[in-house]
Amino acid sequence: MKQLSIGKSDIKSSRFIYGCMRIAGDNSESDRNKGKRAIMTALDNGYNHFDHADIYGGGACESLFGELLAETPHLREQMILTSKAGIRPRSNSHDSYAPTRYDFSQRYLMKSVEGSLLRLNTDYLDMFLLHRPDYLFDVEEVADTFALLKASGKVKHFGVSNFKPSQVELLKSKLSMPLLVNQVEINIHNIDTLMDGTLDQCQQHGITPIAWCPLGGVAYPAWGNTFSTDDEQRIGAELAQQSEKHACAPWQVMLAWLLKHPANILPIIGSTTPERIVAAKQALTLDYSREDWYRLLEARNGQQVP
């Protein structure tokens, strides 16, 4: 699969990242085996970048991946392992008063990274991302935490997820290393990053945008779905027309729509179905035009651009 440099680094990521949020399923033997097959399918098909978070499956997703690495340790050097932390679930506390919250305190982030390394069965993360902005974060403390993690060799590179441009600017102002990525939701339902400066900032500062849930609103209802039945029918009709034109499936059109953006968005493929993990690559071959792109935007908006 085609590869792109991440941020201004020399790390070369496959154009699609494989997302590990669903690999443990319900943690049954059969779902775990399915998850391992999904990872191996991704590897066999040129995905070299795997996205995790400490909270996926309550840690079960990282543990499953770590089991696979223990069986095949030679694979570690061939892959980019990203994990995230900073969302602290209600259950992750001895204090029954504590709600689910964001926590970028040094103590919590250091502990989270240690946990990810242990579960993933690795000595280092290629990238560590702050999962969602902690409204109460102390930027100096986070900068210090990143420096400690880097100096210890436990994390090679850093990035953020779900950060608004102003939050990226704030963090960047205190860091001694570059932020390589901003992992954000981009799909036909959620196009905030096209308009709120996120993708402009990425291009200006050489930050790679990574799209989570790229098929939300196409393959399944997006988070916080606001599409009416009419919206869905209009978008579905346009996707059907474009998929016929490009001889592919509607969800592959959606991936091509993301790939077309000049910010070089890297979509994360989260399917655990081997056929879909393979078939996603077809989107990389579509000759997707500006006219296709704007027609789908028009269908999404229910009106032409002004």
Ligand X SMILES: NC(=O)c1ccc[n+]([C@@H]2O[C@H](COP(=O)([O-])OP(=O)(O)OC[C@H]3O[C@@H](n4cnc5c(N)ncnc54)[C@H](OP(=O)(O)O)[C@@H]3O)[C@@H](O)[C@H]2O)c1
Kindly list the residues in this chain that would bind ligand X in the complex (CB under 6 A): 19-22, 51, 161-162, 183, 212-216, 219-220, 251, 268-273, 276
Strand pairing report for 101-102 and 87-88:
antiparallel
Cβ-based nearer residue to ligand X, 25 or 231: 25
Give least dist CB 291 to ligand X, A. 24
Q: How far is it, in rounded angstroms, from Cα 153 to Cα 123?
A: 8
Nearer to ligand X, 153 or 249 (CB): 249
Structure tokens at 110: 């250091």
Is 37 within 8 Å of 274 (Cβ atoms)?
yes
Question: Token digits for 102?
Answer: 């964001």
Q: Which of 18, 47, 56, 288 is catalytic?
A: 56
56 is an active site residue: yes
Q: How far is the CB of 15 from ligand X (least distance, A)?
A: 14
CB of 305 to ligand X, least distance (A): 25
98: left (phi over 0), alpha (psi -120 to 50) or beta: beta
How far apart, in whole angstroms, are the C-alpha atoms of residue 138 and residue 160? 15
Number of residues that this document lists for the chain: 306
Smallest gap from residue 79 Cβ to ligand X (A): 14
Nearest CB to ligand X, comparing residues 212 and 257: 212
Write the CA distances from 286 to 98, 248, 283, integer angstroms. Answer: 49, 9, 5
Identity of the residue, 97 or 135, whose beta carbon is nearer to ligand X in the bound complex: 135
Catalytic (active-site) positions: 56
